[in-house]
Amino acid sequence: MNLFGKNITVSISGDRSGPVLLVTLDGLPSGVPLSADDAWKTASRHIPGAAEIPLEHQEEAPAVISGLRGGVTNAEPLTAMFRIREETPRTLNAPRPGHEDLAVMACAGSWDFSAGAYSGRFNAALAFAGALCAQL
């Protein structure tokens, strides 16, 4: 899990080869109107290369599974689930050119290249969380 923030914390769990990726925002004030659809429209514009990706490979909008009732925050942590369409995980045995795999491997000492903790889905989750926070 990756954890960011002080007043509002954002945690991301899951990996590229799993069935879902979760993003949770904790510390949101209660009773604030938020639009997950608007946040996803905003976030989609900030995902690198999204405009060039064919529609069948683009991420679908995340499903908000807690923390938002009737478009209003309810004092619970807001959790959104990104379904991962790719049924079969890719097996990667070496760092990918142009990706941060090699740098992460150098810093961490080892790396599971197939897990993809630094994948575009991770960026999508962060962009979605940021777009939600921008509505506050």
In a domain, 102, yes or no: no
Query: Quick check: is 63 in a domain?
Result: yes
Is 21 among the domain residues? yes
Is residue 42 in a domain? yes
CATH number, residue 18: 3.30.1360
Residue 10 lies inside a defined structural domain of this protein: yes
Distance (Å) of CA 92 to CA 31, 59, 96, 104, 136: 45, 21, 8, 15, 40
Q: Is the pLDDT of residue 101 over 50?
A: yes
Taking only the tens place, the pLDDT of each residue in 12-57 is: 998 766 788 899 999 999 999 999 999 999 988 876 666 665 544 4
Q: Which domain holds residue 44?
A: 2-87+117-134
Q: List pLDDT tens digits, range 47-93.
A: 666 666 554 445 678 999 999 999 999 989 999 999 877 655 566 67
6 is a domain residue: yes
Residue tagged 């608007």 (tokens): 38
Residue 103 in domain: no
Q: Report yes or no on 100 lying in a domain.
A: no
Structural domain total, the chain: 1
